[in-house]
Amino acid sequence: MDTLTVRDIAVQGKRVLVRVDFNVPMENGVITDDTRIRAALPTIQYLREQGARVVLASHLGRPKGERAPELSLLPVRDRLAQLLQAPVEFCEDAVDPQALARTRELRDGAVLLLENVRYYKGEESNDPELAALFAQLADVYVNDAFGAAHRAHATTEGVARLLPSAAGLLMERELSVMGAALSTPARPFAAIIGGAKVSDKIRVIKNLLTKVDALLIGGGMANTFLLAQGYRTGKSLVEADKTDLARGLLSLAAETGKRLLLPVDLVVAKRFAADAPSRVVALDEIQDDDMALDIGPQTIRLYADEIARSRTIIWNGPMGVFEMEQFAIGTSAVAQAVADVQGVTIIGGGDSVAAVEKAGLAERMTHISTGGGASLEFLEGRQLPGVAALQAKGGGNL
């Protein structure tokens, strides 16, 4: 990785502004999943051990530049303090004079969490004046928020250009593991792409077709490919206006000698409901009032065999409506097959992470990305603004 990391920076006694991703799910002020908080702990602990004065900045939800009490980071502060087993100070206004004073009063190894940065209108527009106010709070900037690195915001891109900057340990791992998989994978290399719409992942599929040996398609997006091949799709989710695009991707796979696998059977129902009666059908047996909600058993075997022979796997997107138990079988089977791979297995963010965790297989994966949109854009081969703004190696330690 060419970007400076936190290990390249001398931080003893310095105020270090760390952009973290504490955008965690909450219900009635209670955190329901603290995965993203835990993911930031190695960087925070490292900085504390090195005697840095740690200032944390994060967004939560979409308050759109207004103060929304239900989107306060106070519950996050409390949970972080529990995980660190150390006090975490909190600043209710991230950019007023008191915030500046608080950062200057911090002791070596202390941690201060700023209130939700999206309370400020200039955050999402990357306002230079707001970025300058955040920059006053620190001597060094570290970006550890891979999940927000695809956004050019004041705290993800603007501040990085005003202070000595580097990647955190989580950011480093995200970029290194996924970067190595895309550039120098152990082969065979397979990617599994699912989800609702092919239009959401056009660039991902095109980029991966230049790198993988096999591409497995599932979820609602598979219906568009099947329609493009002349199969009926009934009432299934389908993008009828994207069939030319699907045919183009199929042609690209054929031209480049890549295996593009599509379902050979499906689980269908007449209603989109957890208790709807379902049945397995071949592709030519779909009726006009059927909707495809999962891949079928033959497809599971086909995909499991392809996965088993692979040595590098990237998976992004479920195979069906995995939130409903009877339509989660395909996704669960793929998760199990990926977990059994003797090689590098990467879960590329989004619903795939939830599916792997639901199956209790998260610990058996090589890497689970904390980024949703950021993971997708990385897999598309696009440069992430929050990464591009960080300093490159070669200039010596800071």
Q: Rounded to 5 degrees, what are φ and ψ at 37? A: -70, -45
Give just the sign of the alpha carbon dihedral 103, 106, 111, 112.
negative
- Of the listed ranges 64-68, 109-113, 115-119, the least confidently predicted one is 64-68
The confidence score (pLDDT) of residue 115 equals 97
Cα 5 to chain centroid distance, Å, stands at 20
Range list of H helices, 150-198: 169-183
Q: Is 168 a catalytic residue?
A: no
Question: What CATH number does the domain located at 187-342 have?
Answer: 3.40.50.1260
**Residue 172 DSSP SS3:** helix
Asked if the model's pLDDT at residue 371 lies above 60, the reply is: yes
Domain extent listing, the chain: 6-171+383-388, 187-342
Candidate list 350, 371, 372, 386, residue with the active-site label? 350
**Residue 18 DSSP SS3:** strand
Query: Which among 139, 130, 194, 186 is positioned nearest to 333, based on CA atoms?
Result: 194
- % of the chain residues with pLDDT over 70: 98
Candidate list 14, 15, 19, 36, residue with the active-site label? 36
Asked if the model's pLDDT at residue 77 lies above 50, the reply is: yes
Query: What does the pLDDT look like over 273-311, one tens digit per residue?
Result: 999 999 999 999 999 999 999 999 999 999 999 999 999
Given the structure tokens 């300058």, which residue do they identify? 132
Q: Which residue has the higher pLDDT, 158 or 393?
A: 158
The confidence score (pLDDT) of residue 398 equals 57
Q: Model confidence at 354, in pLDDT bands (50, 70, 90)?
A: confident
Candidate list 7, 51, 161, 197, residue with the active-site label? 197
- Alpha-carbon gap, residue 165 to 385, rounded angstroms: 13
Instruction: Please provide the average confidence, as pLDDT, over all residues in the chain.
Output: 94
Beta bridge partners of 3: 392
Average pLDDT over residues 384-393: 90
- Alpha-carbon gap, residue 129 to 282, rounded angstroms: 60
The confidence score (pLDDT) of residue 397 equals 46
Q: Model confidence at 353, in pLDDT bands (50, 70, 90)?
A: confident
Q: Is 296 a catalytic residue?
A: no
Q: Is 13 a catalytic residue?
A: no
Asked if the model's pLDDT at residue 181 lies above 80, the reply is: yes
Name which CATH class applies to 6-171+383-388.
alpha beta
Give just the sign of the alpha carbon dihedral 26, 28, 32, 36.
positive
Asked if the model's pLDDT at residue 251 lies above 90, the reply is: yes
The confidence score (pLDDT) of residue 197 equals 87
The confidence score (pLDDT) of residue 199 equals 87
- Alpha-carbon gap, residue 137 to 283, rounded angstroms: 60
Candidate list 248, 373, 381, 382, residue with the active-site label? 373
Give just the sign of the alpha carbon dihedral 153, 154, 155, 161.
positive
Q: What is the DSSP letter of 10?
A: -
The confidence score (pLDDT) of residue 395 equals 52
Q: Is 109 a catalytic residue?
A: no
Given the structure tokens 């219906």, which residue do they identify? 223
DSSP string, 191-251: EEE-SS-GGGGHHHHHHHHTT-SEEEE-STHHHHHHHHTT---TTS---GGGHHHHHHHHH
Residue 84 CB coordination number (10 Å): 16
The confidence score (pLDDT) of residue 239 equals 95
Provide CB contacts within 8 A for 239, sequence distance 6+.
Answer: 197, 198, 199, 221, 224
- Alpha-carbon gap, residue 298 to 296, rounded angstroms: 6
Average pLDDT over residues 238-243: 94
- Alpha-carbon gap, residue 76 to 157, rounded angstroms: 23
Query: What does the pLDDT look like over 154-171, one tens digit per residue?
Result: 999 999 999 999 999 999
Q: Find the distance separating the first CA and the last CA of the chain, reported in whole Å.
A: 17
- Of the listed ranges 72-86, 256-270, 364-378, the least confidently predicted one is 364-378
User: Of all helices (H) and strands (E), which one includes residue 330?
Assistant: helix 329-339
Kindly compute the dihedral angle of the four CA atoms of residues 132, 136, 140, 143, in this order, to the nearest 10 degrees. Answer: -50
Q: For the chain, what percentages of helix, strand and coil (3-state, to nearest 5) are there? A: 40, 15, 40
Cβ proximity of 73 and 57 under 8 Å: no
